């Protein structure tokens, strides 16, 4: 009984510490992005890097996915207004089409704060090369493949890990 209580309290304590660390990290990561000034030439190079590597159209995909989710949410409760909702969503998506630059500038600012002017020059030079262009083009597909590999690994790990813990417990005479 005492072990369960201790384990439970230790888990709650660990969760609280983890949450505090994550929160502090997030605040720490966002503060420099908002507070620091960046030289215009450094920001321009960072934006050039963003433009060279934006092959996945992250902005457009996010806006369209948000439109689809909104459509599902509204039409599920109001199926009689599907056409009006579709027209409204199309109009709102068009409104967002001209705003991509704002998000890309924010991305560029993050890179400009993390890399020096010289480093950004090297990064841009690489992505302007044939190999860099090939990497930028392939990254989206590679990321999808890596996500699949990670899903298989995670599924296998969960089953194997559970089986090993169960075997350890069985070795202690505990059956679950």
Per-residue pLDDT of the chain (176 residues; tens, 9 = 90+): 434 433 344 444 444 444 444 444 444 544 444 557 899 999 999 999 999 998 778 899 999 999 999 999 999 999 999 999 999 999 999 999 989 999 999 999 999 999 999 999 999 999 999 999 999 989 888 988 999 999 999 999 999 999 999 999 999 999 99
8 Å CB contact between 103 and 59: yes
The number of residues making up the chain comes to 176
Cα dihedral across residues 98, 103, 106, 111: positive or negative? negative
Helices (H), 36-57: 40-53
Name the pTM for this structure: 0.62
Q: What angle do CA 52, 55, 60 make, to 5 degrees?
A: 115
Spatial contact of 36 and 112, defined as CB atoms under 8 Å apart: no
């Amino acid at each position: 009984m005492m072990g369960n209580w201790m384990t439970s309290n230790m888990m709650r304590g660990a969760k609280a510490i983890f949450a505090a660390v994550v929160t502090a990290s997030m605040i720490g990561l966002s503060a420099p992005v908002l507070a620091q000034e960046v030289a215009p030439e450094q920001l321009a190079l960072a934006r050039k890097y963003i433009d060279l590597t934006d092959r996945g159209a992250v902005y457009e995909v996010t806006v369209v996915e948000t439109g689809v989710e909104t459509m599902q949410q509204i039409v599920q409760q109001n199926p009689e207004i599907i056409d009006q909702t579709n027209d409204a969503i199309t109009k709102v998506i068009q409104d967002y089409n001209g705003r991509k630059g704002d998000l890309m500038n924010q991305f560029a600012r993050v890179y400009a704060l993390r890399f020096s002017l010289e480093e950004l020059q090297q990064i841009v030079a690489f992505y302007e090369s044939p190999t860099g262009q090939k990497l930028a083009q392939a990254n989206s597909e590679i990321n999808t493949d890596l996500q699949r590999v990670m899903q298989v690994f995670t599924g296998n790990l969960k089953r194997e890990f559970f089986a090993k813990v169960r075997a350890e417990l069985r070795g202690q005479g505990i059956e679950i």
